[in-house]
Amino acid sequence: MKLRQTLFWDADLKKIDLNKNKRYVIERILDRGRLDEYKWLRDTYSPGDIKNTITRERSQLDMKSRNFWSNFYRLDSNARRDFN
């Protein structure tokens, strides 16, 4: 799947390395992506990579997205960081 420029408005798509920049890609898609992009994300990255990104202390996900994805992945309260 080709990444949408409107989703990665602040980056040159040619310079995004899906491995080196996986946290950035995961955060952006979880925060602002469409369903087809989430399906691609799920097929591209491991559940562990996605969960680690959600619970990362300095995650760039907004509060609503972090709470939604934490509930979606059933992350227990010990795995969640303080989202407040």
pLDDT digits (tens, 9 = 90+) for 30-54: 999 999 999 999 999 999 999 999 9
- Given a cut of 50, the residues of the chain with pLDDT beneath it are 84
The pTM of this model reads 0.86
Q: DSSP letter for 60, please.
A: -
Parse the chain into domains and list their residue ranges. Answer: 19-72
Pick the closest to residue 10 from 1, 21, 19, 20 (CA basis).
Answer: 21
Q: What pLDDT score was predicted for residue 81?
A: 53
Q: What pLDDT score was predicted for residue 84?
A: 47
Pick the closest to residue 30 from 70, 2, 84 (CA basis).
Answer: 70
Q: What pLDDT score was predicted for residue 80?
A: 52
In whole angstroms, give the CA distance from residue 47 to residue 55.
12
Q: What pLDDT score was predicted for residue 78?
A: 55
CB neighbour class for 47 (10 Å; exposed up to 12, middle 13-18, buried from 19): exposed
